[in-house]
Structure 1
């Protein structure tokens, strides 16, 4: 299958799958949602989830706006694609080479001061918007879409889908980790998910490199 020529549903499945696998890899946002749910309850954890989704939305909007402004410059798009390729390969290596166990926070513990829904929303937003990995991930992904000539309307649709998936997945995590069997399963499978995600990110990096080479030849 020619990944560079993927379009329509095939392209959507690729983008949605890559984004979802990135969501599966635990990071600061994931652990913030887990801790908020275990310590403060699902209701206030939902505010954290919304804040994280809004933070991701900032980067999605910035990627769309920035790439729309540079669409006329093929050289800029190629540069962004190579930068994204290197970043994704590096991130995949970090996930594959990580050693040790990733521990989930304890179910008990002293609740932090404050803890209202507004404070939790701000906490989630800051966690997402101050994470440079989010900015680089979306810039990399949308640079590939722009380089492949994906229409702006389709890119906007992908952005809405990603926003909804971030919010929905984090809500599911917040609800699920309070169930003892699910919490135990998360604790056992975290490293496996990280390694699988690392391999997928390497695959995406190869896809990005192929797209950049194709753009350089045209």
Structure 2
């Protein structure tokens, strides 16, 4: 349970960091409303689901502890790097999501969200790195993590779509976002350091 809470916290805080997917949701919601943007949200969640399934199933096929340790070492280094990037990030929501972008349909937005998620290399790298830190988890637990992460991605994106449909919630998020990013950077960095320590311990046995 402790591992689940740590993984869930690290994943959720990383999810809060605005990126291409985030601003696509904001733009679509502001221009066409949250119902239309829900297609984008589902598409992004499906793309994340593909990466989660690929990363976790690939990890389950590796049966060498040393190979897993090296993968975990690489994943830990990437998470530490991500934590540093989060800590140093300067993000603004000013001007994002305003203006019309043309007639949009739910299915079109579903396609846009899926493409955005699949073409974002950070999604793939993050889930591979996260999976590498879970080398000791059972297949059943990995499946639970995967379902949880997919659900949280979808729930958070829908929340953003609903909230960003008006200026006031967007302005509030803009004020609290810098602090959220700092906290996320620290948590992800600590998670990476823990993975590095575990990998080094395995390799030195």
Q: TM-score, normalised by structure 2?
A: 0.94
Match of 1:4 in 2: none
Q: How far apart are 1:142 and its partner, in Å?
A: 1.3
Q: Using a 3 Å threshold, how does the CA distance of structure 1 residues 65 and 109 change in structure 2: closer, same or farther?
A: same
Matches of 1:211 and 1:107, distance apart in 2: 42
Q: Which runs of 4+ in 1 moved over 3 A?
A: 104-108
Q: Using a 3 Å threshold, how does the CA distance of structure 1 residues 79 and 104 change in structure 2: closer, same or farther?
A: farther
Q: How far apart are 1:180 and its partner, in Å?
A: 3.6
Contact 1:38 1:177 in 2 (8 A): yes
Contact 2:30 2:166 in 1 (8 A): no
Q: Using a 3 Å threshold, how does the CA distance of structure 1 residues 107 and 86 change in structure 2: closer, same or farther?
A: closer
Contact 1:35 1:105 in 2 (8 A): no
Q: Are 2:122 and 1:133 equivalent residues in the alignment? A: yes
Match of 2:148 in 1: 161
Matches of 1:153 and 1:17, distance apart in 2: 20
Matches of 1:123 and 1:134, distance apart in 2: 16
Q: Using a 3 Å threshold, how does the CA distance of structure 1 residues 106 and 58 change in structure 2: closer, same or farther?
A: closer
Q: Are 2:72 and 1:81 equivalent residues in the alignment? A: yes
User: 1:46-75: CA deviations, max 9, x gaps?
Assistant: 0000000000001001012211121x1222
Q: Are 2:159 and 1:172 equivalent residues in the alignment? A: yes
2:134 paired residue among 145, 159, 163: 145
Match of 1:192 in 2: 179
Matches of 1:107 and 1:90, distance apart in 2: 29
User: 1:74-100: CA deviations, max 9, x gaps?
Assistant: 22211211111111111111222234x
Matches of 2:166 and 2:93, distance apart in 1: 17
Contact 1:31 1:104 in 2 (8 A): no
2:93 paired residue among 103, 123, 126: 103
Matches of 2:24 and 2:109, distance apart in 1: 10
Contact 1:81 1:208 in 2 (8 A): yes
Where does the alignment leave 5 or more consecutive residues of structure 1 unmatched?
Answer: 1-8
Matches of 2:142 and 2:95, distance apart in 1: 36
Where 1:145 maps in the other structure, the secondary structure is: coil
1:91 paired residue among 59, 82, 87: 82
Contact 1:86 1:205 in 2 (8 A): yes
Q: How far apart are 1:110 and its partner, in Å?
A: 2.4
Match of 1:47 in 2: 39
Where 2:6 maps in the other structure, the secondary structure is: helix
Match of 1:69 in 2: 61
Contact 1:34 1:105 in 2 (8 A): no
